[in-house]
A = this chain, B = another copy of it.
Amino acid sequence: MARWEPNARERLVRAALDLFTEQGYDATTVNEIADRAGLTKTTFFRHFPDKREVLFAGQDMHARLLADAITEAPSPATPLEAVGAALDAITATFTDDRREFSAKLRPVIAGSGELQERAAFKRAGLAGAMADALHKRGVREPTASLAAELGIRAFDRAFDQWADLTNQQTFTELTRHALDELRAATAALD
């Protein structure tokens, strides 16, 4: 039977981010991450399928929160209003603690082609979760996917600003502002 390791997942994520920051993503092995966290390689693989995945912990929870909020938005809400409600729903996960983590995460992802690929794939997963929830509200294609795309763009923009530690706005203020800007941009396309 596996030994119970308190906070194993969180410890592995932090150890990985520290090592990637210190010596680079490519140069870091799963063994080193487990060592730094005071855990075994077996424990690592109980929590993550591979080295890339360790930095994207929490995305499944985000996908669920986004989809649930869209499902629960009042029925007269437009597609973009439902997406706005979804972004509001994930705000609670963006704590101050998470913010320092995110500030360190950005340069690590920017420095690795492999991590950028995984990030793009995860992003597509979040957008897909929102689009599916919009379909269930009766929103058709391509409107549903486009609304979800605007939601993800607002999220990305807000996240970039929020992970900049000099910024003073809350995550909610940032996502709302970003979504308003995107709404205005759709009018300037043609």
Contacts and interface: CB of A to CB of B under 8 A. Distances in A.
What's the dominant secondary structure at chain A's contact region? Answer: helix
A186 B189 CA distance: 9
A9 to B, nearest CB: 22
Contacts of A188: 79, 143
A79 B149 contact: no
A117 interface: yes
Q: How many copies does the complex hold?
A: 2
Contacts of A149: 149, 153
A143 B80 CA distance: 17
B117 A181 contact: no
Contact of A121 (B80, B116, B183): B116
Contacts of A145: 153
A14 interface: no
Contact of A189 (B120, B147, B181): B147
B79 A189 contact: yes
A146 B118 CA distance: 22
Give the one of A79, A118, A143, A185 with max B CB within 10 A: A185
Contact of A183 (B78, B118, B153, B190): B190
A79 B150 contact: no
Given A146-B185, A149-B153, 7 more contacts: A79-B189, A116-B121, A120-B120, A120-B124, A142-B182, A143-B188, A146-B150
13 contacts: A79-B189, A80-B189, A81-B190, A113-B121, A117-B121, A120-B120, A142-B182, A143-B185, A146-B185, A146-B186, A147-B189, A150-B189, A183-B189
